[in-house]
Structure 1
């Protein structure tokens, strides 16, 4: 295998998305600094608070709106678009609010904040031991050039699910998929597209979807989405951690991983095989509307850049509006987001993966995002999850 010279955004992904194993850095801005005042439309509230809500992996503690940091700084209209998407497949407790959510798109910010305070109760999300601090990472849709037919350069396939996928659980590992003749036979004809680098394939597997600039056999070029369809049901293993555990790099930064892949092309396949999890895709058309949004998340609705998060469903139900606060070396965030996705590495009460969007710039930020996190779930007054 020749040496790999990948765009900086790709290997930054290995830093941020693949290596989520160390303690997040403490916030440089505290919650007390940010929770200064309520936005116009809200008033101080002294009504009795409801009881806490206990879920399988979390505990929700009712709080005043004044506890939520940075409310007045958010462009609340931007969050409504993501919320409207959640209304395409809402949880039962939130479905009754959807007609209001659609009407609020024409309301002023004070009217929206007033509606939120009137109808929603904020709850601080904690784990079952009472820990309210967790970790934020980010993800995105890569954008790669691809071919419909293989050639000497574009020879690494993205597969649709094989017909025999349900015949055994788990299905074959990544190494077995790459090497066993009977598995290759089962996948023959299931190729969606061909990429020019196996690490790009791995990036798509980790992100769960991607945008491809496809060149058809007749030379016609157009964009498609390779959207998540299924997995082989094997656990995810971090290749960044694999490198660190073997002292092959001192840290999984761009210089370290890039230098290692270039100096050790003969071991790149070994690195890739250290992650047995394999993802299968389905092709989707990108039209004028869908190109402005991300892929459908686990809730079954399109993801909105910088307004959708992946969560542990045992902690926060899909479709829940969540106030997110995170401040660290990459970006400071105080905003309303929607829990619309999940991921194999997103486990725990106060754990979120922030959807950045698509392309190299989004990948740059996503790959560097790993910082402290606080979450507050917003739930209809009087309703229980």
Structure 2
């Protein structure tokens, strides 16, 4: 569809007024089976405290620099990390970053070391080629929330049947997805989503609308899922694998979203008095759905956000993140790219899921997420399958982060 600049400007304004601003990234906030958070609630962004009013309006807050120069000795546990385990993930980042002049010398040197350099050589490489920069929040604090996500597995079929009846949808033809930066440069990366009805722009259909009008989306059906709650959590994660009846596998990647705000079905169940907060885990939600089939769609509709998928080639590598490269189990993480540049190495100091045991390791910022907002805010990729899902669901830890930036360069 061709839109003139003036018409696009009006469309953007209408979308904003309609409240259908979307998010640019594949992964929504994962489910959280452990209290105190509800299982599928989006984690809060790091926000500074409100400033006192001056002349009837809030006074602007002084903002801290998101990245501040640090020393290697500031990184707790750096010397004890097996940094060579992050080397494949770093080479993956270089495949995307090597086109940038800043990263070319570093990535060329990395390729010169090969795919499996000795551990000591990897450590020398990072310490000689990079300098650490501490990540701070806008209010100057240095600690933030670290959560986890994973690649789930669900069962599905190419053919609809009684056993497989829940459609997995591809991106609809009438979904508008507009980068506001095309019209307003200061809003680069911010997106809105909607649909045209005559000369009017309306928010795109909600989850309840999509469920109520299956015939409208029939042509966009990729396959059919066995379990609607498993499909819901696949949407929460943003990508995953599907096992077909013959045992073969296919992979689904994020296609787009309907632009409606994400709402936690775990919180909805707690607010309705259907379960206590400590029961609102992924397993608890599945159990409630089995016990209340007549209210299943009502529960799902409590989250108006809807994710559309696209089928991608199934390989032994991890799912593709926002950087365009496969994610590496235990070494890739999602960040807010407004604070941490995509592709950069990041040293993370946090604790194991639902534990006080230290988790300190070199990661690569290779993904983003709709709930990953703020300076010190990360989502740890645990890998594929049920065990990874358990770890991801339990992870809601405090943490600190340092970006590794090419030596003698100052990050913008």
TM-score relative to the length of structure 2: 0.75
CA distance in 2, matches of 1:23, 1:280: 24
Change (3 A) 1:68 1:192: same
On the 8 A contact 2:156/2:223 being kept in 1, the answer is yes
Residue of structure 2 equivalent to 1:15: 33
In 2, Cα distance between equivalents of 1:129 and 1:235: 25
1-structure distance, mates of 2:108, 2:45: 42
In 2, Cα distance between equivalents of 1:57 and 1:339: 21
Query: Which of 206, 212, 218 does residue 179 from structure 1 map onto?
Result: 212
Q: CA RMSD in A?
A: 2.4
Structure 1 CA distance, aligned partners of 2:336 and 2:64?
Answer: 8
Deviation at 1:255, TM superposition (A): 6.7
Aligned to 1:326: 350
| Alignment pair present for 1:85 and 2:100 | no
Could you tell me how far apart the structure 1 residues matched to 2:324 and 2:283 are? 38
2:42/2:262 contact within 8 Å kept: no
The one of 123, 148, 157 equivalent to 2:158 is: 148
Report what 2:340 is aligned to: 316
What is the match of residue 94 of structure 1?
A: 103
The CA deviation at 1:145 is 1.7
1:189 equivalent to 2:219? Answer: yes
2:76 paired with 1:69: yes
Q: CA offsets, 1:36-58, max 9 Å, x none?
A: xxxxxxxxxxxxxxxxxxxx996
Residues 89 and 366 from structure 1, CA distance in 2 versus in 1: closer, same or farther, beyond 3 angstroms? same
Change (3 A) 1:107 1:209: same
Alpha-carbon distance, 1:309 to partner: 0.4
Q: Name the structure 2 match of 1:347.
A: 373
Q: TM-score, normalised by structure 1?
A: 0.80
| Runs of 5+ unmatched residues, structure 1 | 1-11, 25-55
Q: How far is the alpha carbon of 1:275 from its aligned partner?
A: 1.0
| Number of residue pairs aligned between Structure 1 and Structure 2 | 332
Cross-structure match for 2:252 = 226
Contact 1:159 1:191 in 2 (8 A): yes
CA separation of 1:296/1:347 partners in 2, compared to 1, >3 Å: closer, same or farther? same
Residue number in structure 2 paired with 1:372: 398
Moved more, 370-379 or 103-112: 103-112
